[in-house]
Structure 1
Amino acid sequence: MPTQSSSTSLNRRKKYLLYIAQNYSYAILRPLQAAILARGDDVKWFVHGDEVNQSYFEEGEQRLGSVEEVIAYQPDAVFVPGNIVPDFIPGLKVQVFHGFNAGKVSDKRGHFNIRGFFDLYCTQGENTTLPFLQLAQRHQHFSIAETGWPAIDPLYNYTPVVNAKSTVLLCSTFSRNFTCAPHLFEQVKRLSETGRWNWLVQFHPKMDKAIVDQYKGIQNEHLTFVETDNVLPLLQKADVMVCDTSSVLIMFLLLGKPVVTFKTARPKDYLLDFDNPTELEQHIETALTHPEPLMTKIAEYKQQTHPYEDGKSAERVLAAVDERLAGLHKPAKRKPLNLLRRFKIRKQFNYWKL
């Protein structure tokens, strides 16, 4: 139990920082912002890098413009949907992830890579919690709390509708080794021109511009290319997704909807995977029939990956932070010095104060 003095200090209005380095971070962090404001606490944003489109900020969202302002703000906790966070920013460093583990890279380099920056990892479900608990036991310098992923709190807040014409959502990662976009272009173009289904196309913000321009060039009354920082409304609207190895397919599965994948890196029994572009149409047709064996596997996957459908993962994250700030679940060791990584980050920011 915290002491009386620490308990009193934790009852004050807390300050939180939302650290953003990619456009997709807006949608990930806004549910946390809403939960913080509902508590009556204070929250501010800090942007790092040129890849963030600051026109996406909404009215009333408060930004800090420099490292000096961030340090003066003295946040209690920093929420990061990415792999790194500067050590010189004050506060508990909380990893909330930029997506689910889609298997695009090995565990040693990807989702389960421990870089030594974070105090607390907020995991999404059993298949991320168990590996991170093992990592926490090995490294002993961070703690774990299974909270669900705040980014998809709004995912369940909608009323399903039956589309007059089935809607297909095409999503693709930018990686040349995994993207389906260039391989399926001719088939998507042909199918959209038939008018059989409505198409929505949305790509990772780092997608090759030439591919983006290709798909923009085939827009018609049945195909719309969507540029957005919030993919959730698209997931809610679509009946089936066509994808590759992008983690966005996991969010679609969590709605209990079928996903057709082209040469995914890790074929699973809850996906309809194929490797010949000419088979795209028949796989979409199969997905739209909701075959019972497939839907059973999707339900099992949902339970292992993200069992929370209450839209309250942000509140669970804040509760986990409260416990760490109160001195609970403190790791046995301090974080590693990480000197080379810290130097590289300070060089990026041109910040050398100690």
Structure 2
Amino acid sequence: MDACLLFATELYALPILRPLAAAAQRRGQRVAWVVPAALARYLAADETRLVSRRAVRAFAPQAVFSAANWVPPGIPGAKVQVFHGFNAEKREPERGHFALRGFFDLYCTQGPATTAPFQALARRCRYFAVAETGWPKLDPLFSEDGARAAALRSGDGRPVVMYAPTFSRKITSAYRMYDTLRELVARGDRYWLLTLHPKCEPALFASYRALVGPHAAFYESDRLMDMQRAADVLVSDTSSVLHEFAVQLKPVVTLCNRRPKPFMLDVQDPADIDAAIDRALARPPELMAALRAHAEAIHPYRDGRSSERVLDATERLLAGGYGPLERKPLNLRRRWKAWRDSRALFQG
């Protein structure tokens, strides 16, 4: 593989794809990005953005890696799904993590919990392959020296608590938690790292930024990895971030999680969050055992080499190592929608 294209539509996709880009460049491969204009300002000076279909065709990628649930039609190369999050069970399986939209040739799954269902779908549909690789986004959790994360801690020995809600108005805790968070932050016995999903309303961003001070900091979602490494406990709801955090074997407190699991400390009232954080910081043995079991199921890889496995799986796909695949379904309505949405990505 000589060239690969990285496709992102949201800010949270950049830390997913950057470890993959770095791994490709270490192999001597050319790398370019397709992102909307709103995301372009977050690209580094050495991250090449292609702004026209003509430029994409000239770049001639052999593979396109997507951290969205679609890819722009007409782009050359094998289409590889690397996922924009873990299976947080926000929706029913056929509408959520395991929904098939007919865009991809290869699904690179994160661990046994997702590999088996996608393999069953592949046997039934026969137009895509599945490889369990681990998730590129988590490579820095296990491979970097941690200096960037250490810089986010308070430096005075206080426990560090991260708050990261999801954005869906039906299940987010961001509105219910605000008053409680304001009180807990003001108390000052813990240091808080706050973030919001990029799709949250500007007014909500303004409210949470107003909590910044000696006891709290606010970061956008491109710093999620550093925040997760820095924090001792995560407070969330039904966000997929809680699974990323749990892979580190660090406790998670949730408010009204849609489908609570044994590895979570789930409460139904914001008033109970404080006590749940205390319990999480104590790391009771039964909770830690549940965390370990969950981490092994969703992402057993701790070597920081998931990006390498994604590239290896893609090379195997390009070499025909998964056998002949059938043609992808035509699905004209979905492809028309993807073509319409992709117009915002290209200038010509």
1:174 alignment partner AA: F
Give the TM-score normalised by structure 2.
0.93
Matched, 1:248 2:241: yes
Q: Which residue of 2 aligns with 1:108?
A: 94
CA distance in 2, matches of 1:249, 1:192: 21
Counterpart residue identity of residue 73, structure 1:
F
Q: Distance in 1 between matches of 2:213 and 2:223?
A: 22
Distance 1:171 1:20 in 2: 21
Whole-angstrom distance in 1 between the partners of 2:81 and 2:286: 35
Indicate whether 1:74 and 2:68 are aligned.
Answer: no
Hey, what's the Cα distance between the residues in 1 that align with 2:193 and 2:332? 45
CA distance in 2, matches of 1:128, 1:104: 15
Instruction: Return the offset for 1:339.
Output: 1.4
Q: Which residue is equivalent to 1:144? A: 130
Checking the alignment, whether the CA contact within 8 Å between 2:20 and 2:136 is kept in structure 1 is yes
User: What's the CA shift for 1:332?
Assistant: 4.0
**Residues 269-311 of structure 1 deviation map (CA, whole Å, 9 limit, x = unaligned):** 0000001111111001100000000000000111111010100
- How far apart, CA to CA, are the structure 1 residues paired with 2:325 and 2:195? 44
Specify the SS of the correspondent of 2:107: strand
Q: Deviations over 1:110-160 (max 9, x none)?
A: 110000000000000000000000000111110000000011100123459
Offset of 1:72 from its aligned partner?
2.1
Q: Determine the C-alpha separation between the residues in 1 that align with 2:55 and 2:160.
A: 46
Q: Which residue of 2 aligns with 1:46?
A: 34
Match of 1:23 in 2: 11
Q: Do the aligned residues in 1 keep the contact of 2:66 with 2:79 (CA within 8 Å)?
A: yes
Amino acid aligned to 2:48? Q
Alpha-carbon distance in structure 1 between the residues aligned to 2:81 and 2:209: 35
Q: Is residue 217 from structure 1 mapped to residue 230 from structure 2 by the alignment?
A: no
Once residues 117 and 220 of structure 1 are traced to their aligned partners in structure 2, the CA distance between those partners, rounded to angstroms, is 45
* Cα distance between partner residues in 2 of 1:307 and 1:347: 38
The 3 A distance-change label for structure 1 pair 331 and 105 is farther
5+ residue gaps in structure 2? Answer: none
In structure 1, distance between residues paired with 2:342 and 2:193: 38
The aligned amino acid for 2:306 is S
Q: How does 1:1-354 map to 2 (within 5 A)?
A: 14-47=2-35, 49-50=36-37, 52-156=38-142, 157-158=144-145, 164-349=157-342
**Distance in 2 between residues matched to 1:228 and 1:117, nearest whole Å:** 26
User: Is the 1:143–1:331 contact (alpha carbons within 8 Å) kept by the matching residues of 2?
Assistant: no
Equivalent residues of 2:40, 2:49 under 8 A apart: no
> What's the offset of the Cα at 1:331?
4.3
Tell me, what secondary structure is at the counterpart of 1:169?
Answer: strand
Q: Which moved more, 1:95-104 or 1:342-351?
A: 342-351
Q: CA RMSD in A?
A: 1.6
SS in structure 1 opposite 2:31?
strand
- State the TM-score, normalized to the length of structure 1: 0.92
Deviation, structure 1 residue 349 = 3.9
Aligned residue for 1:93, secondary structure, equals strand
Which residue identity does 1:137 align to in structure 2?
Answer: R
2 CA distance for matches of 1:158 and 1:179?
33
Question: How many equivalent residue pairs?
Answer: 337
Residue segments in structure 1 that go unaligned for 5+ positions in a row: 1-12
3-state SS, counterpart of residue 65 of structure 2: strand
2:163–2:193: 8 Å Cα contact kept in structure 1?
A: yes
Is the Cα contact below 8 Å between 2:197 and 2:221 reproduced in 1? no
> Contact conserved, 1:199 with 1:222, CA < 8 A, in 2?
yes
Shifted more, 213-222 versus 185-194: the winner is 213-222
Deviation at 1:232?
0.5
Is the contact made by 1:71 and 1:89 (CA closer than 8 Å) also made in structure 2?
yes
- Bigger RCO (CA 8 Å, 6+ sep): 2
Whole-Å separation in 1 of the counterparts to 2:111 and 2:221: 27
Quick check: 1:158–1:236 contact (8 Å CA) kept in 2? no
Which protein shows a greater Rg? 1
> Could you tell me how far apart the structure 1 residues matched to 2:74 and 2:39 are?
24
Contact 2:82 2:108 in 1 (8 A): yes
1:26–1:229 Cα contact (<8 Å) kept: yes
Whether the aligned pair in 2 keeps the contact of 1:142 and 1:331 (CA below 8 Å) is no
Task: Write the distance in 1 (CA, Å) between the matches of 2:78 and 2:161.
Answer: 41
